[in-house]
């Protein structure tokens, strides 16, 4: 099978003047190399296409593939993760991972929570702040947690994201609205333990392959800075036996409610009563073999990188062949 690879290479953008912050979610060459090597070991012919701009050029030049392995995060807008899947849909080229609707919904943490909550999965109460006047409508119990509604990799999350009064909330809301030019999601703070669960497959066939607890030093938020230097700030531990079933159940409930496919991660946190709640979904999880959460937690359960990639591709092929 001829498999194209779509991805956002951070160095490609940096060479063209984009900032480190704009490219925070993008991949290094080592991730692309690992994916290509894994696909070749499965017997596939690979074609490293690149980002959405490069994909459009390749399609215009007449290139086609049996399937595309897509990890492109996109550059701007709340539909950025939907761009490459939407283009491929127009050309009827099948691809690995979720389609444009799921990608867009999952990136918008407010909409994702609405869908997941409607399916009966526990979430923390929250409201969307589109302008500062919306702050007067809030009827939540402090402490609260505030973050941009459509960012990934912990962007927009700092030590000041946990707010204890109206004054702190207003400062952070104003900063997010101005700095990120998007609404802010305000939620009742979940003070309990934090987890992330890896999922493989789709629908009834989806399985929770494992999960891990994220333990940050000094209760630091799991921000972009912490994630990029996790060895210095965090410890990862396999799920305890007393919590594993609940974590997997909540994660699978959220995954199926969003109709995500092939593989990804569901982030969870415990509320003040110890109940596990959905935080957000990542249907386009990082796949660096060393540093990304999904491969890390998979290894904890005996699933090495090559096996994880095979599970992802097999899920896509089953889904595509219907």
pLDDT at 166 over 70: yes
To the nearest whole number, what is the mean pLDDT of the chain? 94
pLDDT at 6 over 90: yes
* pLDDT at residue 113, rounded to an integer: 97
Candidates 55, 48, 4; CA nearest to 29 is 48
* pLDDT at residue 232, rounded to an integer: 74
Tell me the pTM. Answer: 0.93
Per-residue pLDDT tens over the stretch 17-44: 999 988 988 999 999 999 999 999 999 9
* pLDDT at residue 223, rounded to an integer: 57
Give Cβ neighbours of residue 28 (< 8 Å, ≥ 6 apart).
Answer: 9, 10, 11, 288
* pLDDT at residue 219, rounded to an integer: 66
Fold of 105-121+191-321: D-amino Acid Aminotransferase; Chain A, domain 1 (3.30.470)
Question: CATH number of the domain at 126-188, out of 3.30.1490.20, 3.40.50.1220, 3.40.50.150, 3.60.15.10?
Answer: 3.30.1490.20
* Span 117-130, average pLDDT: 97
Candidates 256, 259, 252, 304; CA nearest to 276 is 252
Name residue 318's beta-bridge partners.
none
Q: What is the DSSP letter of 62?
A: T
* Span 130-144, average pLDDT: 95
The CA R_g of the chain, rounded to the nearest whole Å, is: 19
* pLDDT at residue 203, rounded to an integer: 95
* pLDDT at residue 233, rounded to an integer: 73
Centre a 10 Å sphere on the Cβ of residue 195 and count the other Cβ atoms it contains: 27
| pLDDT band, very low/low/confident/very high, at 229 (cuts 50, 70, 90) | low
* pLDDT at residue 154, rounded to an integer: 80
Per-residue pLDDT tens over the stretch 187-227: 999 999 999 999 999 999 999 999 999 998 766 666 566 55
Per-residue pLDDT tens over the stretch 97-108: 999 999 999 999
Is residue 207 within 8 A of residue 182, CB to CB? The reply is: no
| pLDDT band, very low/low/confident/very high, at 266 (cuts 50, 70, 90) | very high
* pLDDT at residue 24, rounded to an integer: 87
C-alpha to C-alpha distances, 135 to 161, 167, 213, nearest whole angstrom: 15, 11, 33
* pLDDT at residue 308, rounded to an integer: 98
**Domain ranges (residues) in the chain:** 2-96, 105-121+191-321, 126-188
Is residue 180 within 8 A of residue 161, CB to CB? The reply is: no
Q: What is the DSSP letter of 61?
A: T
* Span 68-80, average pLDDT: 95
Name residue 264's beta-bridge partners.
199
What is the rounded CA–CA span in Å between residue 141 and residue 160?
17
Question: CATH number of the domain at 2-96, out of 3.40.50, 1.10.3470, 2.60.40, 3.30.160?
Answer: 3.40.50
Phi, psi (rounded to 5 degrees) for 277: -120, 150
* pLDDT at residue 321, rounded to an integer: 93
In a 13 Å sphere around the CA of 107, the CA atoms on its Cβ side amount to 25
Angle value at C-alpha 17, between 12 and 20, nearest 5 degrees: 80
| pLDDT band, very low/low/confident/very high, at 234 (cuts 50, 70, 90) | confident
Candidates 123, 122, 170; CA nearest to 146 is 170
């Amino acid at each position: 099978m001829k498999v194209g690879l779509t991805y956002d290479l951070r160095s490609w953008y940096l060479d063209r003047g984009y900032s480190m912050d704009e490219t925070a979610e993008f991949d290094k060459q080592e991730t692309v190399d690992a994916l290509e090597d894994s696909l070749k070991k499965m017997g596939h012919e690979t074609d490293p296409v690149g980002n959405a701009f490069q994909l459009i050029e390749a399609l215009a030049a007449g290139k086609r593939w049996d399937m595309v392995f897509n990890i492109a995060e996109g550059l701007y807008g709340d539909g950025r993760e939907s761009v490459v899947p939407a283009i491929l849909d127009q050309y009827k080229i099948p691809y690995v991972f979720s389609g444009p609707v799921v990608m867009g919904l999952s990136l918008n943490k407010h909409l994702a929570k609405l869908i997941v909550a409607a399916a009966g999965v526990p979430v923390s109460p929250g409201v969307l702040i589109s302008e500062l006047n919306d702050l007067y409508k809030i009827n939540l119990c402090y402490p609260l947690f505030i973050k941009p509604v459509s960012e990934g990799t912990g962007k927009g999350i700092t030590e000041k994201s946990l707010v204890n009064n109206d004054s702190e909330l207003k400062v952070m809301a104003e900063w997010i609205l101005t700095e990120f030019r998007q609404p802010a999601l305000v939620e009742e703070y979940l003070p309990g333990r934090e987890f992330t669960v890896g999922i493989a497959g789709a629908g009834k066939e989806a399985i929770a392959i494992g999960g891990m607890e994220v333990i940050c030093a000094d209760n630091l938020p799991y921000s972009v800075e912490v994630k990029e230097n996790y060895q210095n700030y965090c410890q990862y531990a396999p799920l305890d036996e007393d919590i594993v079933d609940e974590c997997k159940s909540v994660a699978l409930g959220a995954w199926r409610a969003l109709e995500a496919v092939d593989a990804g991660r569901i982030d969870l946190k415990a509320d003040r009563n110890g109940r596990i709640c959905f935080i957000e979904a990542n249907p386009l999880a990082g796949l660096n073999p060393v540093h990304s959460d999904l491969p890390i937690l998979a290894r904890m359960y005996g699933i090495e990188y090559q096996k994880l990639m095979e599970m992802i591709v097999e899920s896509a092929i089953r889904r595509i062949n219907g």
